[in-house]
Structure formats: C-alpha cells, structure tokens
Structure 1
Amino acid sequence: MDDRPRNTEAEIARDAAARIPRARRGPGLSWKLLILTLLFVSVSAVLIYVPSIANFRLTWLSDRLAMADTASVVLAAADTVDVPRDIQDQLLAAVGATAIAIRTGSVSRLIAAVEMPPEIDRTVDLRMMEPVADIVAAFETLLAPDERMLRVIGDSRNSGAVELVITDTPLRDAMLSYSVRVLWLAVLISVILSGLLFLSVDRMFVRPMRRLSQNMVAFSDAPDDSTRVITPSGRGDEIGVAEDHLASMQRDLQTTLREQRHLADLGLAVSKINHDLRNMLASAQLFSDRLGGVSDPTVQRFAPKLIAALDRAISYCQTTLAYGRAREAPPSRRLIALDRLVDDVADGLGLVGHQTIAFDNAVAQGMEIDADPDQLFRILVNLGRNAIQALESDSSPALVRRLTISGERRDGCIAIRVDDTGPGIPQAARAHLFQAFQGTVRPGGTGLGLAIAAELARAHGGSVALAEKAGPGACFEIIIPHRRESNGRPRAA
C-alpha cells in the first residue's frame, strides 16, 4: 500500500497552471528594435546638430565681418575725407550692419554708421575659440524673444581688427531656416538608416530568435513528436551553436521521456506481479515450515536454507517497487561473517555442485564486515548472477568457467571482488554500465542488477566499480567502508 501523501486537486491544478507559459505582453523584439533604432539615430542627429548650429552662427558672422573688412579697404583710403552719408548707408545695407569700424593698435576709426547708433547688447569676439560658449551663445540667439544688437570683432586683412555692429534678427532667421533643413535631413536619414538597420538586424538576429522560440513552444506542446525537433540552420555564429545545442537537448529529452515511459510501464507491471507473487510465496513458506518437521537428513539440511530463501523473496517482493519510486531503506548494519555470507550466496545461485562452473570462496575464514546482511547479500547475488550468465553464454566444453569471490581489508574499508573468467565487458557498454535499463550486454536482460548493486553500495557509503584485471573475464570490486564514530573517525572492525 502506498503511504505517500497525495496532492490535493487544488495543488495539482496550481502546479499545472504554474507549468503553463505566460502569454507574452508588450511589444515584441522587432518593435523594440525599431524603437531603439529610431531613438539612437535621433540622439545621434541631436549630437550632430548642436555643434553644427554653433558653427553655422560663427560662419554667418564671419561672412558679414569679411564683407565689412573688404569694404573698409576702399573706405580706409579716404582717411582725411568724411565718407558721404549715402555711401555709408549703401555700405551698411550691403553688409547688414549699423556700424563698421577698424582698429589699429589701440586706435579705432568709425568708417560707417547710422545717424543714431543703438546700444550694444552682446559682444562676439571671433578671435577667441570657445566651443562650449559658442554653443550656448547659438541657442541664446535661437531662443531670444527680442531683437538684440551684437558687436562682432574679428581679424582684418589690412589692419589690426575690424568691428561690426549688427542686429541678430537676420542671424536668427538664418539659423531657424538652417535648423528646419537639418531637421528634415535628420528625419530622412533616420528613416533610411533605421529601416536598413532594422531589416538587417531582423534578418540576422530577430528571425532566428523567433524561430528558436516558436520551436521551443511547439516542442513543449508535444515533446514526444520527433518532427518537432529543430533542424539547425548550419550557421557558424552563436545562434547556430544555440540551434545545435537545442536540437541535442530535445533529442536527449525525447530519449529520457521514452525511458521514463518504459519505467512507468515496468512499474505498473511489477506492481501487478508483486501482489500475486507475494501471496504465492507466503503459501510456499507454509509448506517449507512443514518440511522442517520431516526427519529425513537431506530435508533437514536443505529446509532451513529453503526457508531463508523464501523469507528473502517475500522481503524483496515487499520492496520491489522501491526502485524507481523511492530510495532503498537505509542499511541496518551489523557485524557479519563474510565467508559464511558468501557460502549462502553460492547456495542461492546454485553454484555448490554446479556441473560446469567452479566456485571459489576465497574470503579468509573469520573475516568480518560491518554491513546490512540482506543488502550485501543482494549485491553479491546480482553480481554473481551476471557472472553466471556471462559464463554460460558460450557452451564450449573446453572453456574454463570459474567464479571467485574474495575479500581483503584496506585502510578504513573492506574490498570484495567478484571475479569470473567469462568474455568480459565490451568497451561500448562500460559508459552506462551502472545505469538502469542501459547496463545490460545480454539480449533479454533488464540492466537492473548492476544499478541495484551500485545503489545499495552507495547506501553504505561505498561503491561498486569495474576493476582492471590481467586475465580474461570481468572483475567487479565492492568497497564497503567502516562505519564512523560521532567524532568522524572510522569505527574499528
């Protein structure tokens, strides 16, 4: 009877809901990529526009200053004659200024000016290059609410310097017109660049990632369908590596699912057999108890062994479903005479008086081991039965068939060796030798014997391994360490 706690219907429903993938919310990778591309291109356009508008302002002012400097060449010749009013007005209109002056050393000479010169609001010295200040001044010009008068100073080709008084309204209009042109150009470049970048990245990354995600969703719906295993595209980059590993993982998962299904079918079959077999063994035990009262010497000799074998069989039936559903019970360790236990194993396997197989109990008389007697018996029976099947696989009468069980004391443990002269273990079978349903090399075998033996040995803190040997056959070595005291030291045997 299964005493394990059952999950309630609410818990089962909650677990099932937790396994259902949540629906995707929000924009997909394609939209995120497009938005980020537009954002980054826009940021790039702004970073380009900021210094360019400052440079446009300086260039515009430099052009006006160059025009004033050229006009001053002609007007400077008449240094003793006043420039007529109409000539000054024409010159100022051509330059777009309200006053023009040239400076030589510390002396300034006004060449042309309106009758009522306005007050100066800002002074711009083009002889000094200050990028940050020029950028700030450019945006002040763009955002200024009222007209301002600028005094522009620059180097002259004929004298020391030339000065120009000019209103910033034409400059602001030119800068706004330039900004609109730059804006349209930035929008056009952003759209073209974003489109090209989006198409490239979508084709190179987003589509393969979408293919991976769609395949994983489809595979999760029917993981046992081999047609849903992803077919790698053969790419040599990281996405190609991900496709290869995903295909390998899906194939391994399908193999695992088939093995789990096989285990479930086997567990169901064993549970059905266990119920009836246990009743039949109980009946056989009753008959064996009656045999104990027969006075025949042969019966008296074999009846205890038969009773012991039936007791073990009934105990095994009660724990048959333990493998694959729960762990084996913790070992109940006691001090055992190993040589006598090996004799019981030989009797149980029918090796005493066997017609073709010679059995050698090479355990030293009186050697003791601290272990669970039933579990150690099962380990030796499983290994011995495998050895007998290997020895009987070839019926040639000339072959030497011998099974030897030996034991020796080592530092902190007992080593038991099960050695046979059979055909040995093929190299291809050694990788999965102790895995359930995979370690068998005999047609029709279940592959559980070695897996059970290894599990029982691990319960003792030991191991079962295939040992190297010089001669033919196979040799399995069982290591059973001594129990440890509360201080962690090995307990003396």
Structure 2
Amino acid sequence: MDHSTGAPRLPLGPDDLPDGLVTADANGRVTCFNAAAVRITTVPARQALGAPLTEVLPLVDLDGRPWWQLTDPYGGLATRTRQPERNLLLPGGREVLVSARYVRTAPTGPVHRLVVCLRDTDARRRTERSHAELIATVAHELRSPLTSVRGFTATLLAKWDRFTDEQKRLVLETVDADAARVTRLIAELLDISRIDSGRLEVRRQPVDLATAVGRHIQAHVADGRPAERFLLRVRPPLPELWADPDKIDQILANLLENAVRHGEGTVTIEVAPAAGEEHGGSGGGTAVTVSDEGPGIPEESMNRVFTRFWRGSKRGGTGLGLYIVKGIVEAHGGTITVGRAPGGGARFRFTLPVAAPAYLD
C-alpha cells in the first residue's frame, strides 16, 4: 500500500529501472533484457532473449580483449560473486560501464544466474561535469572573501598603531562578514552532499509556520528594510506541522531573500492549508507562497530554477540556494513549484504534508 496516496503500490519491473539489466541462466542464455539495456546496446529485446549472453553482449575491454574470456563467469574462480564496475566497449566502440553479480546455488557452487548491469557513460560524464563546475564555483566564491580576510588581517597586524579604534572596528566587521560568507558556503556544500547522497536528516518537531515567517520578516525590517514592503497573510485553520525547524528556516530565509534582492514592490507571504491532492491525497498539509512584484522569471528559465548554479540575475550568489531548498522540501515529503505572481513577479509555493509524531525520522 502506498501510504502517500492510499492506493495499492505497484511493484517495479525491470523496465522501470534507469540502468540496463541483463540476466542469464545457468547455461549462459539471456532471460531478461530490460528497456534500458535495449536503449544502451540498440539490441532488440526479442533478439536478445534466449540467445547466448556472449553474443548479445560481445564486450571488450579498452585494450580490445574479449571481456567474457577474461572473466569466465561460469568456469572461473568458484568463490567469486561479482565483477566491479569498469569501462568496456560495445560493438562500434561505444563505451559503457559494466558490473556483474554471480548468483550461485551454494557458496562455491556453479553459477545459477548471472546479473549484468549496464550504465551509459554519458550520465557519468554529466555527473563529472557537474562536479567540476561545482568545484570551480566554490573555488571562485571562496577566493574573494579569503583574499579579503587575509588582506585586512595582514594590514592590521602590520599597522595596528596607525588605525583609530573606529577604523579597527570597521576592518574587523568586514573580516567577520567575509568569514560568515565562507561559513555559509561550506554549509551549502555540506547540504548538497547530503541531498545528493540521500543522507539529509530531518529532525521533526512541532513548527508554527506563521510565526516562523513573521520572525524572518522582522529580521529583514531590523536589517533596514521598510516594514510596508512585506505583507503576511495567514489563512487558518492551519494543520499541525511536524518538521525540522532549522531547515524550515533555511527555506524561508532563501525564498524571502530572493524576493527582496531580485524582486520589487511588495513581498507577499501567504500561509494556508494545502489541499490533500497536493500530497497525493495524504490528507493535506500546509502551503507557503512567496511572491513579489518584480520582473519575474522568464518562461524559458522556469524549468531550470531548481537546478544547480541557476542565477536569476547578476546580483551575486552561488546559484545553489534553490537547489538546496528543493532538496529540503522533498526530504520532508513536500513539493515546491515556481510560477508567475498576479503582479507579474516570481511566485514560489512549497507545501509540506501533515506529519504526526509517529512519523518522526
């Protein structure tokens, strides 16, 4: 049973897998050849099923040696249970990542079934490019504040007696701001690592979303922004929400800061009950909508807003904030969308499902 929808949960089949799956029986004949394997190898399933595995997948290593002869799954070492993933070549020279698992009838018995996993190297290259881009962005973002900190501290140490107390205070405030910027960037990197690896922890407790939004508005006002720029609308009755308060603060801080920095006019925040269908029929939850009256987000950019490094303008930032926001919302079992506000600006809406104490992580 799928508890998020109340409907029976259908089991996943081989064709639902993103990677190629090929299995062979004790005689080395193919018994499963899923849709991803067809896409990667361009071999039709009807041609593969029942055929010898070595003919369906005539793999060679990067030196041109036949891989099946090298590994000899059916006649090789009787204690071997797997082959680690490695780069091999399909006919025509197409590179593919291949791993294998040997299913034996006994620890040292004959191979009963051979399971081969195929992964397209294009996906790996995209991941590598993303990691390289992340490293370049981080290096660039760290260089500026660290250079500033080093320059100011070196100047203070060399010419301490020449500065007035007011000048010293100004320099130290600048160093403190740059150190805070580095700390925020490191926190973002840790969040991305946890999101990408599925290890983002959600420590749930009761959260009053309306109060949390009000606290963030007060912080902006205390920072010098006019109070009339913010409009908070709360539509009761709000369901009880169990969520991670620190991570909810991350979401609100990012969305409000974006609306203030990149938007114009009044920033409207609405906190209201969410319809059950927004959570797959799970009984509803809470929805928060943040909108502004600025130029908005171009239609062609809407599908990239929650990706890494997307920046809505040239006004600074790493372009990682909304990617992290989406990861946090989804870790809570919620959803987030972006669209155009009635006033023409950007409109972000995230919904969080009802979660009772028994649902705590």
> TM-score, normalised to structure 2's length?
0.48
Looking at secondary structure, tell me which structure has more strand per residue.
2
Higher RCO (Cα < 8 Å, 6 or more apart): 2
For the pair shown, the structure with the greater C-alpha radius of gyration is: 1
> TM-score, normalised to structure 1's length?
0.36
